Structure 1
């Protein structure tokens, strides 16, 4: 009986495999056809973006804290596993009751279409890839079920009945071979279609080439020369200037928006005397400024790496607002990305002299596509969730009482001033060191206020002042170093910073939600 039971489960296992292959066809066909539509029309990106929108803040914080800048890769893996499991269930359901299987596939197709149509910047036509993909997947599922249905009677049938069935339809073994051949060929075809869709989309998209060919104008106000001594002398401390390819990226965009500069338009409206629109050429023709600015993500944990320093080129936002003339009573600018993300920035912050800008350049070259090309916002002193909108296309002058931004609707604070923070870069956690002189170093920041002191504490000893590297400006981070006479044993290295207002970094631990993490980093090391 046990052997009979195992044989009975065989078709169901293959039905689950049929479900997975059919799901792969849905995604592959949609990917191939989606090459002729916007990237946000493909099911994977639409479902992933919808998942991000409805994911609780605590889960997003966990993903960022656990996977860092690999959070999107982790999301895709999780989505793949989830889709595969659901496809297995649908395959078994379709095997046992085809009508229910069809309803299940159509329901999943409807969910995918709904996810696509709720993305910003898409139209009804962008649902076509998902619809056609669903139809193709349903056809493949049906064709894969046929040999399984033919096999259905054999596992429990007497030998003479099975033999008669074999003579009529070619035998269970033949049906199994047909099933696996069809499933294998279909899976390979799906892989080719998906790859072809990616390649075709890349061939049709010349945004990367256009970016590489773009020549940035010289700024009217160049960034001051970087003074000598900004880099900590301790080997291993992060570079004072962060290369573009190492700059952290945290955003809600699974599919990086690819915008033709000729099509880009910024609309400035709301509580203004004069609604205006700016083209990319308007920015190129404007009096641009250049400035080194350190950006920090609100999701950065104590001691985290979600901070970076770059030289930005752009048009001051205060000049844009001066043209629009905000009305009395306005206190916020709601900036919106082409992918629907929005951020709420205090109006006064965008009008003062801190060099908030519509940036078009980063470290001497056009913005990288993944960092907001062609235009993003850079606002010193505020966490990115309320200021650093990438791929920005809309500025609405409004009031905090009237409008809510993406993260504000999800429980985060309306305003996000960056907290005073020190980070220990060297030594790393759980490092094994030799007794004697040990170099300790790191980075500290308090954008718009500047760092005036960093102190180091070993275990529960006294706080000792570290040596500060040269300060480039109050809107960039400042590095530091300290020489420690280490003794054998396990020790804890802590650091705290003081800003120009006299505020000492608090030891009170706080999670990133709702307005940024706080506390002292403690690095455990072993000295031998």
Structure 2
């Protein structure tokens, strides 16, 4: 391989690096400027949120089953890799023909702008971070490419001079290696300016991104506002949990899920930063009275407190997307009683501040179940990632049709007239939770001591209640387990069972029975379109 060929390939690699660094500057500067705007005005959040909006059901289901609650992190990593690859290509194109490279950068900027402006609640000023970031990136790319061309020109000049010198001393110096050895020092020197420029640009990009995050955090007083909130005593406190609600088997999950461990599945790539003081809920649609509720209106109302188990429709058989918390809030039936829905209405379309929507059957929100506008979770204000300042909690329905976080709008309408976020993407319009049980001990592929082996887990069938759980060990007869005390039909129920096993490979299968529909179905179904079903099978080793 000749020195000129190696030089061209080296320049191509550096051009790709220039494109990646320039893209980093676009994102960093946009992050810095975006600190003064909504989070969705920054390119990464806007593009990521747009991608989520257009994600087909099978891909969403795959992401959650594969990455669980780290699905958003996986998306960000994937976006980072994609952006780096596209930026590298644009850098190479710009090196070879600047006009085409610049056009590509501007096209990417236009795509980002489209993503920003199509976010819920977007306005023209939200364009500013992307415009400034794109301009900075374009200038940086131009600067880096110019330095690279200058380095190439210097290298060619040095190589030509070295070749002439080599010809003049042909009788004194060997041909092999003479040109390369003469050109290499100058070659490194000529590219030093590019590396300095690239390093400076990378540092500026990182500083801008870091500064933007720090500035955004400093401008948001959400944590302080949450800490300062004080709630009145509920008009209807949560009934005390009965003795014996916790399974006696070590390793079974806590009956009440700590806020930090509660699963989070939603479409918000960036957690909305809403203040309680500015929060307003609009109630409208097919009602006799349209009105708005403030956060203070909720605090002044008769709040109720209940333990309720929530379940995600994306929870696979045996999965962990389920949790129980003590919720404080205002009954939604009281909100609708004031609105007085018109005849023919059969659905409430709830919408969050980031544009997500859920379709909840109207009768569910009007019956005697404890469906609420929740303001607190486990004796503290809602965590931001769980919907602060207000979210919906509806017993008996999967979250995708009921548990709207950061809720700001309730429209009384009809299923025939409106589609919610996920029902518009192939999921069922109504999402009653299916009866399910989960084996938590032993864990899959665990190794336990021979002798008495403890088996334990949880079962749930919100609004129907669990009346029995059975296990089958090594495909033997079904045996009823010991049920822990029941807190209510709206919470999960824990269970335990002891069995004596010899050393070897063993399996345990579990099924639950509810008070209305009977034994949990063994028919295997995936999560799409209305939740998984089937009996969980756990394999483990006794040593």
Deviates most, 333-342 or 34-43? 34-43
Equivalence for 1:71: 71
**1:208 has 2:223 as partner:** yes
Equivalence for 2:355: 340
1:440 to 455, 464, 468: 455
Equivalence for 1:224: 239
Equivalence for 1:102: 102
Contact preservation (8 Å) 2:152, 2:190: no
Equivalence for 1:525: 540
**1:478 has 2:478 as partner:** no
Equivalence for 2:467: 452
Give the count of matched residue pairs: 525
Deviations 1:329-369 (A, max 9, x none): 00000000000000000000000011100000101111111
Deviations 1:254-279 (A, max 9, x none): 11001111111101111001111101
Q: How far 1:122 moved relative to its partner?
A: 2.0
CA distance in 2, matches of 1:515, 1:449: 18
2:285 to 270, 281, 284: 270
Equivalence for 2:46: 46
CA distance in 2, matches of 1:152, 1:177: 11
Query: What are the equivalent positions in structure 2 for 1:100-249 lying under 5 Å apart?
Result: 100-153=100-153, 159-161=159-161, 172-249=187-264
Secondary structure class of the residue paired with 2:132: helix
Q: How far 1:253 moved relative to its partner?
A: 0.2
Deviates most, 120-129 or 468-477? 120-129
Could you list the structure 1 runs, at least 4 aligned residues long, displaced by more than 4 angstroms after superposition.
153-158, 161-164
CA distance in 2, matches of 1:292, 1:6: 68
Equivalence for 1:22: 22
1:385 to 394, 397, 400: 400
Query: What TM-score, normalized to structure 1?
Result: 0.97
Q: How far 1:460 moved relative to its partner?
A: 1.3
2:276 to 261, 285, 299: 261
Query: What are the equivalent positions in structure 2 for 1:406-417 lying under 5 Å apart?
Result: 406-417=421-432
Secondary structure class of the residue paired with 1:506: coil
Unaligned 5+ segments in structure 2 are: 165-184
Equivalence for 1:514: 529
Query: What are the equivalent positions in structure 2 for 1:273-284 lying under 5 Å apart?
Result: 273-284=288-299
Secondary structure class of the residue paired with 2:370: coil
Deviations 1:357-385 (A, max 9, x none): 00001011111111000000000000000
Secondary structure class of the residue paired with 1:220: coil
Secondary structure class of the residue paired with 1:495: strand
Contact preservation (8 Å) 1:509, 1:518: yes
Deviations 1:118-170 (A, max 9, x none): 11122110110000000000000000001211244577779435789xxxxx9
Query: What TM-score, normalized to structure 2?
Result: 0.94
Equivalence for 1:316: 331
Unaligned 5+ segments in structure 1 are: 165-169
Secondary structure class of the residue paired with 2:316: coil
Equivalence for 1:167: none
Contact preservation (8 Å) 1:337, 1:393: yes
CA distance in 1, matches of 2:365, 2:506: 45
Structure whose alpha-carbon radius of gyration is higher: 2
Secondary structure class of the residue paired with 2:518: coil
Q: How far 1:434 moved relative to its partner?
A: 1.7
Q: How far 1:459 moved relative to its partner?
A: 1.9
Q: 1:163 to 1:135 in 2, by over 3 A?
A: farther
Secondary structure class of the residue paired with 2:409: strand
Contact preservation (8 Å) 1:8, 1:155: no
Equivalence for 1:461: 476
The Cα RMSD (Å) is 1.7
Deviations 1:30-70 (A, max 9, x none): 00000111111111111110111111111111110011011
